[in-house]
Amino acid sequence: MDLSIISVTWNSQEHIAEQIKSVRSGCQNISFEQFIVDNGSTDGTADLIARDFPEIKLIRNIDNAGFSAANNQAVKKATGEFLLFLNPDMRVAPGSLDKMVAWMRQRPNVGIVSCKLIDERGQVNLSALPRRLPGVWDQLAIILKLPHLFPGLLDKYLYQGFDADKEQEVDSVRGSFMLMRREVSDRLGWAFDPRYFIWFEDVDICRETRKFGLKIMYTPLISCVDYVGQSFKKRDTFWKQKQFTKSMLAYFQKWESWQRWIWIAVIRPVGLGLAWLSDFVSQKNKI
């Protein structure tokens, strides 16, 4: 098997059919299998997949196991030489996955690669570009919403001025489209560290991969439409901030000394308070 495509769904009925159809057209000259792990959807996502796409290897979770754990469930069953982690709100172009697999085979020193992610209008999706490895101070700035006051504060972290038309080595790529050499997950025993429920699992695996001496690459060889976080839009701000900062703390506890991650632990409650206030104001405005 050349390629195993793995997607995790949670109330993704709106986009998953289009994604599955695009995957079919994306693999014209390679053998592939697609796993979808449904994390307890209540909108009929799993039933739609089972009814309309019986070829999909569907794994149904009763509850939401999180992004890392759900992907790892499929990795254990996957047989592909390469693993593609693909969000349900993505659309790949015809023949594009053939090109990506061929690209990886020609570069044995690359562990993970991602492509140009664009919006429905064909414009580069700036929020889905590669990022540098996170530092404590830029993450504290994000928790405290400081970039709203100082727009250039995160320029270095966000690769300000990144050339999306240039193939290049990067620190990390986004987990929404991540093509991984099977060797990486085999050596670790998982594709994503199970300590992360959601967020930071993608930058973590990029960092793990670099430890093996393998490169993290970005290539504009193909483009993929990214509708960006459709499932997240169904969550309130507090829930998102809670999960985001929990994973952030776990990341720094894993990779940094306590003298550095303690700042995340101290400031995290402030961020949660701001998120709660945001939800409170939003609810008031709806009344």
Per residue in 119-136, pLDDT (tens digit) is 999 999 999 999 999 999
Q: Count CB-CB contacts under 10 A for residue 137.
A: 11
Quickly state the pLDDT bin for 24 (edges 50, 70, 90). Answer: very high
Does residue 280 have a pLDDT over 90? Answer: no
Cα-to-chain-centroid distance, residue 116: 14
Cα–Cα distance, 8 to 199 (Å, whole number): 14
- pTM score of the predicted model: 0.95
Cα–Cα distance, 3 to 6 (Å, whole number): 10
Q: Say what the pLDDT of residue 235 is.
A: 83
Find, among 161, 246, 251, 155, the residue nearest to 203 by Cα.
Answer: 251
Exposure string for 116-135, b = 16+ CB within 10 A, e = fewer: bbbeeeeebbeebbbbebbe
Quickly state the pLDDT bin for 231 (edges 50, 70, 90). Answer: low
Report CA-CA distances (Å) from 225 to 106, 120, 124.
Answer: 25, 6, 9
Quickly state the pLDDT bin for 113 (edges 50, 70, 90). Answer: very high
Instruction: Return the axis-axis angle of helices 136-143 and 237-255, rounded to nearest 10°.
Output: 170
Cα–Cα distance, 251 to 150 (Å, whole number): 25
Per residue in 162-214, pLDDT (tens digit) is 999 999 999 999 999 999 999 999 999 999 999 999 999 999 999 999 999 99
CB 126 within 8 A of CB 228: no
Among 65-74, 181-190, 220-229, the least confident range: 220-229
Q: Say what the pLDDT of residue 230 is.
A: 55
Which domains are present in the chain?
Answer: 1-129+164-230 (3.90.550.10)
Average pLDDT for residues 84-98, to the nearest whole number? 97
What residue type is 268 in one-letter code?
R
